Amino acid sequence: MSEKKRGFFGRLFGGKDAPDAPETPAVEAPEDTSPDAETPDDTPTPVEMEVAPVAAMGSEPSVLSAQTGPDLSPQIAPTVPPVLPEVDISADLGTDKIEPDLPDAPFESSSDETAAEKASEVQEPVETVEEPAEIEPEAETSAPTVPIAATPAPAPVEEEKLSWFQRLKKGLSRSSSALTDGISSIFTKRKLDAAMLEELEDILIQADLGVDTAMAITERLSDGRYDKEISPEEVREILSEEVEKVLASVAEPLDLNSGKKPHVVLMVGVNGTGKTTTIGKLSKKLREEGKTVMLAAGDTFRAAAVEQLKIWGERTGAEVIARDTGADAAGLAFDAMKEATEKQVDVLLIDTAGRLQNKAELMDELEKVIRVIKKHDPDAPHTCLLTLDATTGQNALNQVEIFGKVAGVTGLVMTKLDGTARGGILVAIAAKHGLPVHFIGVGEGVEDLEPFSAKDFSSAIAGLA
Ligand SMILES: Nc1nc2c(ncn2[C@@H]2O[C@H](COP(=O)(O)OP(=O)(O)OP(=O)(O)O)[C@@H](O)[C@H]2O)c(=O)[nH]1
């Protein structure tokens, strides 16, 4: 074999190879869309904070383990709004209101909202006053009114029930097509050469899989295959296997068997990443298992979050502890701990306000909430879940790092994998941080959160059946 692919760093820095490549590559600059977010380099990591130990997950049988049986859940309507054709308003013949498809969960914001948009919502609540709709006087006309024949309503389409894997595949389709289209365009009945491997490596890195995984995949491909034809399917198989290798060690069911009553779960994360929604979805799962659940509306900044949680409580039969907007979040956590202990509930799920990881005062407030919880039970919170919005891309790596230090995150939930082509970020996070990934979300519906399976995820992202 005469030809050898230059490594990613070789290409980046012009050299032939870079054996001592740094762990974090220059290209992995965070892509934080929030207006006041700083780059990780600028991030003032609170120096006084010690690295909280990542709690080891027990080996007890989990109550929320990966789904293995047949999936009987209903199909969830796509969350991406349809693109409506432009309407010629001069030809407005009717007053029919077009109702948008609503998700089956009580949410206020669209899934496309960025963390930054949610951040501004949190810090400066803006009251939107709905303007009364103007009623146009009916145009006077001497022409006789021609009755418009009512169009018969289309026969209701029988909704096809999708299994979780099908929903996962559908949700991850943007991420997987970014990869598989790229792979198909490179591996077109040509013999494998260095240029093809370099192109593939670029596609894998652009898909946020991380440099290490991208290099592992191209190295494995090059092994004994130079000057041989290789099909896109073969490449996808290898991609799936390598991704699964990285994810297998982090795919852990959420273990709520601490033996404590309540088992306390603290939900933390950046604004709009899906904390409240995930609490609702978890509450449903736990209630279905016959557990008693209490929800603490610790996001006291946002009135809508409290309301949202109350609705989840009603829907799932979980008691909700809430206070007025603006109340002290630590005080609320204290009350919730007291109440849940007195009532001996199985699981207490505590919501917190969203906060950008580089806002030191907000991170201090989170530490205070944790200190207060510990006054009731020094081992609590027994689980600290960080929700990550997959659409955030590389910035999620920094969120894991800072929330890990401040709040002692024990596990991750990645949401909104349906709204992005950057689902590969989960692989980069797993490779870098090694924190357990318990659940992934692929939609706003209550059924769209499932225990994380490395095999399913890697097959889906590689576009395998
Ligand atoms: N498409 C999609 N949307 C999701 C998913 N999970 C949550 N969302 C939506 O994301 C939006 C924000 O969710 P919330 O649960 O309010 O987020 P939060 O982290 O509690 O927000 P803050 O309280 O502002 O920090 C809502 O519109 C949810 O419906 C998901 O997996 N996919």
- Whether 418 has a pLDDT exceeding 70, the answer reads yes
Q: Would you state the structure tokens that stand for residue 150, as one six-digit string? A: 């009512």
C-alpha distances in angstroms, 277 versus 171, 280, 313, 387? Answer: 17, 5, 11, 10
Residue 315: burial class (beta carbons within 10 Å; 0-12, 13-18, 19+): middle
Testing ligand 1's pocket by substitution, the residue of 111, 306, 387, 440 carrying the most ligand atoms inside 8 A of its CB is 111
In single-letter form, the type of residue at position 237 comes to: E
**For residue 431, with 0-12 CB atoms within 10 Å meaning exposed, 13-18 middle and 19 or more buried, which class applies?**
buried
Indicate the average pLDDT of the chain: 75
- The answer on pLDDT for 319 being more than 90 is yes
Count Cβ atoms within 10 A of the Cβ of residue 25 and give its class: 0-12 exposed, 13-18 middle, 19 or more buried: middle
Compute φ and ψ for 464, nearest 5 degrees: -90, 155
Other CB atoms within 10 Å distance of the CB of residue 31: 14
Residues marked as binding?
Answer: 269-276, 351-355, 415-418
Ligand 1, atom nearest to 299 Cα: 23
User: Which of 85-94, 158-167, 283-292, 358-367 shows the lowest mean pLDDT across its residues?
Assistant: 85-94
Of 88-92, 241-245, 340-344, 386-390, the range with the lowest mean pLDDT is 88-92
Count Cβ atoms below 10 Å from residue 293 Cβ, excluding itself: 27
Determine the average pLDDT of the residues in 102-123: 39
Rounded to an integer, what is the distance from CA 144 to the centroid of its chain? 57
Please give the number of the atom of ligand 1 that sits closest to the Cα of 302.
23
**Integer CA distances (angstroms), 124 to 117, 120, 121, in order:** 11, 6, 6
The per-residue pLDDT for 224 is 83
Q: Ligand 1, closest atom to CA 280?
A: 15
Asked whether residue 460 carries a pLDDT value surpassing 50, the answer given is yes
**Which atom from ligand 1 is nearest to the alpha carbon of 273?**
19
The better pLDDT of the pair 121, 313 is held by: 313
Give pLDDT, residue 352.
Answer: 94
Instruction: Give residue 158's pLDDT band: very low, low, confident or very high (50, 70, 90).
Output: low
Annotated binding-site residues for GTP read: 269-276, 351-355, 415-418
| 387 CA closest ligand 1 atom index | 19
The mean-pLDDT minimum among 8-12, 306-310, 420-424, 444-448 falls in 8-12
Ligand 1: which of 101, 107, 306, 308 to mutate, most ligand atoms within 8 Å of CB?
A: 107
- Band of pLDDT at residue 38, cut at 50, 70 and 90: very low
Q: What is the pLDDT of residue 294?
A: 98
Q: Which helix (H) or strand (E) holds 407?
A: helix 395-407
CA–centroid distance, residue 11 to ligand 1 (Å): 39
Instruction: Tell me what pLDDT residue 121 has.
Output: 41
Q: What is the mean pLDDT of residues 13-21?
A: 45
Give Dmax (Cα) for the chain. 87
Tell me the CA–centroid distance for residue 387 and ligand 1, in Å. 10
How far does the centroid of ligand 1 lie from the alpha carbon of residue 416, in Å?
8
State yes or no: pLDDT of 176 exceeds 70: yes
Share of the chain above pLDDT 90, in %: 53
Average pLDDT over residues 165-188: 92
Q: Model confidence at 302, in pLDDT bands (50, 70, 90)?
A: confident
Provide residues with CB under 6 Å of ligand 1.
79, 107, 109-111, 118, 122, 269, 271-277, 299, 302, 305, 353-354, 387, 415-416, 418-419, 441-444, 448
Q: What's the 3-state SS for 334-363?
A: HHHHHHHHHHCCCEEEECCCCCCCCCHHHH
Confidence of residue 11 (pLDDT cuts 50, 70, 90): low
pLDDT band at 62 (very low <50, low <70, confident <90, very high): very low
Q: Whose CA is nearest to atom 21 of ligand 1?
A: 272
Of 1-15, 194-208, 319-333, 447-461, least confident by mean pLDDT is 1-15
